[in-house]
Amino acid sequence: GVQRFFYDAESRLVEVRNDNGSVVRMTYDPLGRRVEKTEQGSDGYRLGETRFVWDGLRLLQEHKHSQTSLYVYEEEGYQPLARVDGIGPLQKIRYYHNDLNGLPEQLAEADGNTVWRATYRVWGNTLEEVREPYYIEEQNLRFQGQYLDRETGLHFNTFRFYDPDVGRFTTPDPVGLKGGINLYQYSPNPIGWIDPWGWSCVQFKRWKRGQAIDKPLPNGKAPAWDVVRSRYWKNRYEASKASGEFSAANLSRMKRGSAPLDANGNSMELHHHNPQRNGGLDVNNPRNLREVTREQHAALDEYRHLGSK
């Protein structure tokens, strides 16, 4: 059907009128983040209201009717890992299973039971969506940084709206030609590229075992030390899983990114020859790291106290 779009002075979509008479209205905060969405029927009766809470430019939480959902993402990225539905004793954690580009394909309970699954066309248009009858919440996350508005069929993409039917944005790029010569293009292809803000696309390159532990995150930022350390032990597992150097229990820990335990049952640590506090491009490179016990670490680094991690 025909849809009519209305924008404010900042070129933000604030109202959509559908030909069935329903109206969708949106409210934004001073940073341009959408904080509320309401839908009214042709009779003016309010059909629904959704409020959004943000962590920077990532959607953190949404409230709809009496339902609340909180989202957990990959470190400093936009690929969803889990969601917490409900509050208090009724809380339930569901885990995302995503495509190579971070597009959610399944949502599963802790016991592995799938409560929601979907298949898509190449540019993100939903081909099939199935959910368990008892799963009353909606799963609206799509390409990284996108949220499906079921009232309009468009994907909210932080600073623009994306139309999955045509694989294009509905308005020109807010950053102009800095985002590319095609002002409506989402990306060269949706498998290896993402555009979480609707500004300019970047190649999505997830870290894989065996790669450099200080490899930048998909958003181009340097990984935090917790991420680097986890990568180190995962690579160490791959290099030593058949060597007999570590016990089966320690190999299991290393496989999931945790440090092996020493003879006293304490986690092994990584000492920086060139102190991490001094900074530098290669400060987290394996050549600058040494595996030590917590006692050895304290003896090597005056700032490492045994009463702290």
The reply to whether 207 falls in a domain is: no
- Residues of 1-14 as b/e, b for ≥16 C-beta within 10 angstroms? eeeeeeeeeeebbb
**Contact between 62 and 54 (Cβ < 8 Å):** no
Same domain, yes or no, for 104 and 247? no
| pLDDT band at residue 309 under the 50/70/90 scheme | low
Pair (119, 183) in one structural domain: yes
Q: Provide the residue range defining the domain that includes 233.
A: 225-300
Task: Say if 28 falls within a structural domain.
Answer: yes
Same domain? For 284 and 185 the reply is no
Maximum distance among all Cα pairs of the chain, rounded to whole angstroms? 74
pLDDT score at 30: 94
Q: Please write the tens of the pLDDT for every residue from 234-268.
A: 999 999 999 999 999 999 999 989 999 999 999 99
User: Does any domain span residue 32?
Assistant: yes
Please count the other Cβ atoms lying within 10 Å of the Cβ belonging to residue 75.
16
Question: Per residue in 35-62, pLDDT tens?
Answer: 999 999 999 899 999 999 999 999 999 9
Q: How distant, in Å, are the alpha carbons of 4, 52, 55, 217, 279 from that of 33?
A: 22, 9, 10, 23, 34
Q: Residue 218's CB: how many other CB atoms inside 10 A?
A: 23
> What's the confidence (pLDDT) of residue 216?
82
Q: In this structure, are 186 and 229 located in the same domain? A: no
Domain identity same for 58 and 109? yes
In a shared domain, residues 114 and 189 = yes
Among the candidates 171, 194, 217, a domain finishes at 194
Q: Do residues 197 and 157 make contact, with C-beta atoms less than 8 angstroms apart?
A: yes
Report yes or no on 218 lying in a domain.
no
Instruction: Determine the Cα–Cα distance for residues 95 and 106; give it in Å rounded to an integer.
Output: 8
Residue 299 pLDDT more than 80? yes
Among 151, 177, 194, the domain-final residue is 194
Residues 20 and 169 grouped into a single domain: yes
Task: Identify whether 246 is part of a domain.
Answer: yes
pLDDT of the residue at 179: 77
Region 287-302 average pLDDT:
93
Q: How confident is the model at residue 180 (pLDDT cuts 50, 70, 90)?
A: confident
Nearest to 175 by CA among 32, 6, 14, 53: 32
Query: What's the whole-number average pLDDT of the chain?
Result: 92
Q: How confident is the model at residue 220 (pLDDT cuts 50, 70, 90)?
A: low
* Contact indicator for 87, 68 with CB cutoff of 8 Å: yes
Residue 308 has pLDDT above 80, yes or no: no
**Domain total for the chain?**
2
Query: Above 80 in pLDDT, residue 297?
Result: yes
pLDDT at 252: 94
CATH of the domain at 256: 3.90.540.10
Please check whether residue 255 is in contact with residue 237, taking contact to mean a CB–CB distance below 8 angstroms: yes
Q: Which of 176, 194, 212 is the last residue of a domain?
A: 194
Q: Are residues 50 and 147 in the same domain?
A: yes
The answer to whether 257 touches 249, Cβ cutoff 8 Å, is: no
Spatial distance between the Cα atoms of 45 and 22, rounded to a whole number of angstroms: 9
pLDDT for position 178? 78
pTM given for the model: 0.71
Is 94 found in the same domain as 43? Answer: yes
Same-domain pairing of 160 and 53: yes
Q: Which tokens belong to 281?
A: 């491009």
185 and 296 together in one domain? no
Residue 205 is assigned to a structural domain of this protein = no
* Assigned domain for 208 exists: no
Q: What is the pLDDT of residue 219?
A: 64
Q: Are 64 and 49 in contact (CB under 8 A)?
A: yes
Is the residue at 77 inside a domain? yes
How confident is residue 87, by pLDDT bands cut at 50, 70 and 90?
A: confident
Cα distance between residue 76 and residue 219, in whole Å: 8
Confidence of residue 133 (pLDDT cuts 50, 70, 90): very high
Can you tell me which residue has the tokens 């971070």? 102
Q: Residue 153: which region, alpha, beta or left (left: phi > 0; alpha: psi -120 to 50)? A: left
Q: What's the pLDDT band for 195 if we cut at 50, 70, 90?
A: very high
DSSP result, 89-133: GG-EEEEEEE-TTS-EEEEE-TTS-EEEEEEE-TTS-EEEEEE-T
Q: What torsion do the CA atoms of 291, 294, 296, 302 make, to the nearest 10 degrees?
A: 110
Task: Yes or no: say if 221 and 155 are a contact pair by the CB < 8 Å rule.
Answer: no
Asked if 168 and 30 sit in the same domain, the reply is yes
Measured CA to CA, the distance from residue 5 to residue 165 in angstroms comes to 17
Q: How many CB atoms lie within 10 A of CB 164?
A: 22
First to last CA, the chain: 60
Query: What is the arrangement of strands in the sheet containing 46-55, beginning at the earlier edge strand?
Result: 3-7, 13-18, 23-28, 34-40, 46-55, 58-64, 67-73, 80-85, 92-98, 104-108, 114-120, 126-131
